[in-house]
Amino acid sequence: MRNFRQKLPPLDTLIAFEAAARYLSFTQAAKELHLTQAAVSQQIRSLEDYLGVQLFTREHRSVSLTQQGRDYQHTVVAALTQLANATLDIRVVDRDNTLTVAADQSIASLWLMPKLNEFRITHPEVKLRLVSSDLVDDCLNKNVDVALFFGDGHWRGYESVRIFQESVYPICSVDYIKQHGKIKEVEDLVHHNLIELEDHNWNSLNWRRWLNAKKVDLPMERLGLSLNNYPLVIDAAKNGQGIALGWKHLISPELDDTQLINPLGQSVETDHGYYLLWHKDRKISPEAQAFIQWVHQYLEHAG
């Protein structure tokens, strides 16, 4: 249906009709709507003129619905109820402290989710909505209040603060080392099953860059598995499928639990890192401020 103005009567007349039909009284409808009885009567008359039918039978001290009035009442009540509920839903979103946080899939899955319940316990009044995506347009848009994203700290239209700079090192399972033997030198890595993260949205270190940073220019003989999802890269390493690059703040719990080990004890510091971002031209909401403060406090406590 197009051009509702031509196809629908004014909303005020429908509201007056609904109240009058419910009470079967123009006087009671007028009290509810804070109008005079004459104003309600005029709105009903305007609606009848618009429709070209009589909706009420008027008697000396009472009114009753005609058959067309009863039929129209069912439709009008359903439509107004649906419109009222939809309006309430939107107003509730604005009222009830909803906070939309976006993060790329790596930090959302491996860092944020295991800790998020602490924020919810500390701030039970905040209704949290989490968007997890590696696409910049999904994470950095007008509907997102705060984002956690990887990069160099420069995003047009956003304020940013780095929450940690990453240290990257080889990781593999204990079983992999038992099966393939200890790795004594960085140069030995090129002969092992290397697991690569293949994601054009990341400016992260891949195996070639990591090895170059260690002055190793040898060809990688066994780059046998590439995945475009970092949590899957970690799972593959846990399952003994090869050696992956581990990002300290994303995989440290697995190292603590000895699910994964750094077989060389060496790492490379990155030029990039994870940042908290929020819109420059928008006032930060109390909920967003609480989330930003919680992240900083958590990192300070974690050391």
Q: Please, what CATH class does the domain formed by 99-159+273-302 belong to?
A: alpha beta
Residues of the chain with pLDDT under 70: 1-2, 91-96, 200-204, 253-254, 256-257, 302-303
For residue 202, the model assigns a pLDDT of 55
**Per-domain boundaries in the chain:** 4-95, 99-159+273-302, 164-271
For residue 198, the model assigns a pLDDT of 81
For residue 1, the model assigns a pLDDT of 46
For residue 303, the model assigns a pLDDT of 56
For residue 203, the model assigns a pLDDT of 60
- Provide the 10 A C-beta neighbour count for residue 212: 13
For residue 217, the model assigns a pLDDT of 86
Q: Out of 1.10.10.10, 3.90.870.10, 3.90.1640.10, 3.40.50.300, which CATH number does the structure's domain 4-95 have? A: 1.10.10.10
- Supply the pTM of this predicted model: 0.62
Q: Please, what CATH class does the domain formed by 164-271 belong to?
A: alpha beta
For residue 91, the model assigns a pLDDT of 64
CB 169 within 8 A of CB 264: yes
CB 275 within 8 A of CB 163: yes
Paired sense of beta strands 195-197 and 158-171, if any? unpaired
Q: Do domains 99-159+273-302 and 164-271 have the same CATH topology?
A: yes
Non-local CB neighbours of 68 within 8 Å, separated by 6+ positions: 53, 54, 55
